Amino acid sequence: MKKCINSGLHWCLIIVALSLVACHSRGKAAEKPEKPKEKDIVIQPEALSVSIVRNIETTLEFVLASDGVLNDSMVLAKDSLVNEIYAKRSFEPVWSTQEKWLPLSDSLLEFIGRAREYGLFQSDYHYRILQNIRKKTIEDTLGRKDAALWSRGEILLTDAFFRMCYDLRKGRLPYDSVTLRKDSMNTQAYLGLFDTLWQNKDVAGLMHALEPKHVAYDSLKAALQTFLQSAEPLKKYTYVPYPAVNTPEYYNILKQRLFEEGLLESPFDYLDTTSMKLVVGKYQRKKGITETGKLNAGTVSSLNNTNWEKFKRIAITLDRFKLLPDSMPTTYIWVNIPAYRMRIVDSGNVALESNVIVGQPKTRTPLLTSNVSNFITYPQWTVPYSIIFGEMLPKIKANPDYLRKQNLMVVDKNDSVMNPDSLNWKKFNKNNFPYLIKQRQGDDNSLGVLKFNFANKYAVYLHDTNARWLFSKENRALSHGCVRVREFLKLANFLVRNDTIRFPPDTLRNWITRQEKHVVSGFPRVPIFIRYFTCEVKDGDIKFYNDVYGEDRVLSERYFDNKAL
């Protein structure tokens, strides 16, 4: 019995020991690869070539296990693609040979040096590090013999190539619900670009082939070169949020910005309220702003209207072109929210332009793509529930006569008109309102005398307005979300321009004069794009529009504010 117990104990100990060995082995297997050497000086040329290959392989093994991180200053964006290139070539160098960088590497580095001309940032492509590596491997005797240095240069240059291809093709903004450019580039396609580069030896040509094919994109990119020449040296400035917040953190930001402007000797000096007013007033005087000493919207806008902020907005706009389809339709309607403009493009030419009114920041006009399918003269407006509960119901409860003054009627589910005086308005709320509110057609209708319909989930449309004087305002973010069109009649005539039998000249104008309601359809549907582009080229210069919804600021904070210059 004792023998059996001892025997069992013996086997248990063996099993435990084997388990510990297995665990230790698994732990060792899961360990991160050894960090690559910082330096690997090899004197003999033959041995140097072998060491470069070994360094490339071990460095990539480490990078892949570290999610692209080589060290604090070197992170590979496309580590898997880089590894594929070298693994296929047995980790032999591709940009250099026999202690010399190949001419194609010079071309790529030169292209990276001009990254700003494409709305890109040199720092995303290891530019300074690559310059330093090349300087050391060319000018420094020990650097020329450093296998670790050559291997890092190789890997970083390949990563820079793939990231630049990716950024010129897809951009840096995330694809969203209105993105129309199809992402046809997979891993094999990007690897194919590398082969194409080595076949044609044309860096600029390959990169240009990846860019959007839009005239407006090319115009903006061309104007960017002129902008960069006038903006040199491009310098980063602190962004000042608005409205102002009375907190120490906010005033530290403001002091930093005023220091950058040369108005403070140090951003760390204490300033009381009076001193701050004097400095702000000095800035206002310097910029020709009404001197109040107070931090108002105009002053903050001036502080933020730097070439650095403009460059980021250009970069964002260039990337927004990368979300459009590879080719636009022959005929389409383009509404640019920040510009407050609508444009009809027909066979590459602008057939019509019009001022528009768009949604207020709290009731934004949505970005969308659709097709204008019909339009209605003397339309009736069914008020959206969001407006009923958000604006109208409190006013009606206060005074039911509000409905009559606004030419509004209440209808039930059978479209029967209700007497508003007979309804108990106090009991109605957003959970209890079994009616619709409609506005009678006529010149005082909020939709004006013409409405254009296109399918969308937001229940918005293009239309005329009964407040046409608002088109003369500079800030035209005034609507509840729909787009009001100043040249509504020209737009309608354009849609039916090819159907002169049904619509002889002045037909639509005569209907409106006679206040006749007509639903017009049967014309070829015209695509409509409602987009958000805060800059474009006008007469050869870049025109910047107000970031009315703060979309550029959000994207800038998320993707570009921390970029190194």
Active-site positions?
A: 463, 482
Question: Which of 89, 25, 26 has its CA nearest to residue 57?
Answer: 89
Most distant CA atoms of the chain, gap in Å: 115
Please provide the DSSP assignment of 121-175 as one string: -GGGGTHHHHHHHHHHHHH-HHHHTBHHHHHHHHHHHHHHHHHHHHHHHT-SSPP
Question: Can you list the pairs that 215-220 forms with residues at least 24 positions away whose Cβ atoms lie under 8 Å?
Answer: 215/348, 216/321, 216/536, 216/537, 217/318, 217/321, 219/536, 219/537, 220/314, 220/317, 220/318, 220/321, 220/535, 220/536, 220/537, 220/542
Question: Which of 137, 130, 116, 119 has its CA nearest to residue 161?
Answer: 130
Q: What angle do CA 417, 418, 420 make, to 5 degrees?
A: 135
Question: Which of 379, 498, 385 has its CA nearest to residue 441?
Answer: 379
AA identity, residue 519: V
- Residue 327 CA to residue 329 CA, distance in Å, equals 7
What residues contact 299, with CB distance under 8 A and at least 6 apart?
Answer: 280, 283, 284, 289
Structure tokens at 108: 């790529």
